[in-house]
Structure 1
Amino acid sequence: MNNTMVSSEINVQKVEDFLGRVITDFGGALGVSLAFIGDQLGLYKAMAYAGPLTSEEVADRTGTSERYVREWLINQAAGGYIEYDAKARKYMLPDEHAVALTEEESPYYVAGGFQIINGLIKAEDRIKSNFLKGGGMKWGEHHHDLFDGTERFFKPSYLGNLLNSWLPAINGMVNKLESGIAVADLGCGHGVSTILMAEAFPKSHFFGFDNHEPSIKKARTHGKEKKLKNVTFQVSGAADFNSQQFDFITFFDCLHDMGDPVGVLKHCKKMLRKDGVIMAVEPMAGRKTEENFNPVGRVYSAASVLCCTPNALATGGYALGTVAADEELEKVVKNGGFKHFKRVTETPFNRVFEIKE
């Protein structure tokens, strides 16, 4: 039987609408690649707060080829990233877009996401093989753009939320940090979260642990640049860190990446003092599958396929995934030996959980 439906049996308008959506995605995918190039070459920064510019002026400001810049600008205008004045034949980066694309200390900054995507798509062949064979791929096996992009992309969220809303949502924690306690930041990566807390609470000591040695080296460099005396970075997994007892343990967007989250939490229970608390920051996800059918869910489920689930399968075999529902996380927490599990606050992109006895 021929599975191809004759044109009279389908809704042509629905087909055309779908094709329009696909073409939009084609443009978006290519646009992300060009946006990353613009970020790396300083094209956005050259246009930021500069008013209308010609392609020649943008090229001159960045030391790039006008011939390439010319069509890069067309692409960016077609995608709505920049604006075009047809009468003056000049392009302009709106101030509101400049904040998001060029100001790395702004909570609106998103350019690191272009770098993450650029790094993830380089793993296509490996991930395709995983679909067929069921294997995994460790975090450290990805292209370095993933590591650098993750620091740049997540830092704005931490700057905007960690001290102002996430820590205050954990009952009594700010007072404890101000008085002086020991904190373990697991899966710390380049140490952005660890350093932010160490700067804010000089009486407490912060230990950043990560099993990716290149990331720990970068974190140590950041710590030295800040001249912090109350932060220590060590190469260690979340299931075997063992320097001392801790009052507070944090997971920033990483618990779902771990191949044995139950084992990790059991180890955390051993390492926590009697009244110790865990804060787990996880990507936003719906309580039901269909609640992830939105732009955020689309991004996070893709990241899960390309990065988070492969890492979990490669390091233990239990894959929560990036869009694990609260219920799934709670089961892991309870199996890890903790009774209290509560979502204490959230943002459009993250959920924050308090975990304790």
Structure 2
Amino acid sequence: MATQTFDETKAEIFTDRILNVLNDSALALMISIGHRTKLFDTLAELRPATSQEIADAAGLNERYVREWLGAMVTGKLIDYNPVNQTYFLPPEHSAFLTRSAGGNNMAPITQFISVLGAVEDKIVDCFSKGGGVPYSEYKRFHEVMAEESGQTVVAALEDYILPLIPGLVEDLEKGINVLDVGCGSGRAMNKLAQRFPNSRFWGYDFSAEAIAIATAEAQQQNLTNVRFEIKDAATFDESDRYHLITTFDAIHDQARPDLVLRNIQKALRPDGVYLMQDIHAATEVNDNLEHPIAPFLYTISCMHCMTVSLAEGGMGLGTVWGQQKALQMLADAGFTLVEIKQLEHDLQNDYYIVRKD
């Protein structure tokens, strides 16, 4: 058997890669904390300031703020003046780390790292025993998901997503029936219900916690044209009722996505449209080698989307089910016309415009 030579250069490159992984994963936790404590928002409003001044402005403990600032400075997210011992968040960085950045704020998505880390022990058990980890084990997941989708999907609904379907805005203004399957905390339907008072909106989700949040928000806004229900998407049985059915980042983590898609097909009116937003990826791993966030997506899948499906005895489709698998399952569900669209500013999602015929 031929012996393989050990490439010292390749080994050195790899060790550097691992060091970068360690530093960047640590920074992800620190960015999450900076977002949750509103430290980035505070810094964006300050001139170069000391750790005590920053802590006072944020209403936080100085010793913790100072250690957090150490991670931010050495991670090159925040500038530091050693003479004056002051810290400053450059505007080029605050444009992607603060709430005022709107949809450009990349800090909220880092919260998923800590949320997923909290179930690592249970995921390790699944590697040995199989099965999955149920939704109930994920603390703050709905909260984080609602915030992240609020910045991406919900914020883009009116200006970018709805216009993907010609004539849809006009139909919504006139009045149509709309269902969101896997509605989560209901932000999308509540926003549309407020914007289009002549249309009627429903949201289904099997999470009682999510439905309670959605309903409370609707009541707070005095919305009378939207209703949220606890319902398993794999078992709801309606026919030819809705002009528009939507799913936002919801199909791939269903226990039985095949049944969900069939139920959607049945509930859609013959002239209706199904709008499926899901992750932009290919089905085969080799086709995702150049995907800019592929490792993140496979990690989310392994530690959440795939495992919550398996916990229900489901298919475990996973986050990265990809366009090819999606098209196959849509066809199997009885949909014959599918068009895939993307938004220029959105590298993470595909938008499937689906019709019966």
Normalising to structure 1: TM-score of the pair? 0.91
Gaps in structure 2 of 5+ consecutive residues: none
**Cα-to-partner distance string for 1:65-95 (whole Å, 9 max, x where unaligned):** 3222222112112222212233432111122
Give the counterpart of 1:336 among 326, 333, 338. Answer: 333
Amino acid at match of 1:75: A
Any residues of structure 2 matched to 1:21-170 within 5 Å, and which?
21-103=17-99, 106-143=102-139, 145-170=140-165
Confirm or deny that 1:324 pairs with 2:308: no
Structural mapping, 1:198-213, within 5 Å = 198-213=193-208
Query: Deviation string for 1:264-301 (max 9, x for gaps)?
Result: 11111221222111100001213652342343212111
Residue 226 of structure 1: how far off its partner (Å): 2.1
CA contact (8 A) 2:282 2:324 kept: no
Amino acid at match of 1:300: L
Aligned to 2:352: 353
Give me the CA root mean square deviation. Answer: 2.1
- Aligned partner of 2:254 in structure 1 is 258
> Where do residues 225-240 of structure 1 align in structure 2 (5 Å cutoff)?
225-240=220-235
SS in 1 for 2:297: helix
The alignment's TM-score, normalised by the length of structure 2, stands at 0.91
Return the offset for 1:331.
0.9
Q: Give the Cα separation in 2 of the matches to 1:250 and 1:104.
A: 28
Give the unaligned 5+ runs of structure 1.
none
Distance 1:12 1:45 in 2: 45
Shift of residue 352, structure 1, vs aligned partner:
0.1
CA distance in 2, matches of 1:87, 1:273: 69
| TM superposition shift of 1:134 | 2.1
Tell me, yes or no, if structure 1 residue 305 matches structure 2 residue 302: yes
Q: Which amino acid aligns with 2:167?
A: G
| Partner Cα distance (2:271, 2:121) in 1 | 47
Partners of 2:267 and 2:72 in 1: how far apart?
50
Question: Using a 3 Å threshold, how does the CA distance of structure 1 residues 172 and 138 change in structure 2: closer, same or farther?
Answer: farther
Deviations 1:96-138 (A, max 9, x none): 4334333167111233223222111111111112222221223
Q: Distance in 2 between matches of 1:315 and 1:339?
A: 29
Query: Are residue 289 (structure 1) and residue 285 (structure 2) matched?
Result: yes
Partner Cα separation in structure 2 for residue 102 and residue 222 of structure 1: 24
Amino acid at match of 2:180: D
Deviation at 1:212, TM superposition (A): 0.5
Offset at residue 356 of structure 1 (A): 1.4
Matched residue type, 1:327:
Q
Q: For residue 244 of structure 2, what is the aligned residue in structure 1?
A: 248
Q: Report the more deviating stretch, 77-86 or 300-309.
A: 77-86
Matched, 1:276 2:272: yes
SS in 2 for 1:277: strand
8 Å CA contact retained: 2:338, 2:355: yes
* 2:235 aligned counterpart, secondary structure: coil
Which one-letter code corresponds to 1:128 in the other structure?
V
For the Cα contact (< 8 Å) 2:280–2:323, is it kept in 1?
no
Measure, in 1, the Cα distance between the counterparts of 2:100 and 2:188: 15
Secondary structure in 1 matching 2:275: strand
Q: Is the 8 A contact 1:258 1:316 kept in 2?
A: no
Number of residue-to-residue matches in the alignment: 351
Q: Distance in 2 between matches of 1:95 and 1:312?
A: 41
Q: Distance in 2 between matches of 1:316 and 1:100?
A: 39
- Within 5 Å, give how 1:172-191 maps onto structure 2: 172-191=167-186
Distance 2:304 2:283 in 1: 22
Which AA in structure 2 matches 1:343? I
2:9 counterpart residue number: 13
Match of 1:223 among 218, 221, 227: 218
Report the alpha carbon displacement of residue 20 of structure 1 after superposing the two structures with TM: 1.3
C-alpha displacement at 1:159, in angstroms?
Answer: 4.0
Assess if the C-alpha contact under 8 Å between 2:200 and 2:225 holds in 1: yes
15-24 or 302-311: bigger deviation: 15-24
Shift of 1:243: 7.1
Instruction: State the Cα distance separating 1:210 from its structure 2 match.
Output: 0.6
SS at match of 2:97: helix
C-alpha displacement at 1:59, in angstroms?
A: 1.7
Q: Does structure 1 conserve the Cα–Cα contact (< 8 Å) formed by 2:203 and 2:227?
A: yes
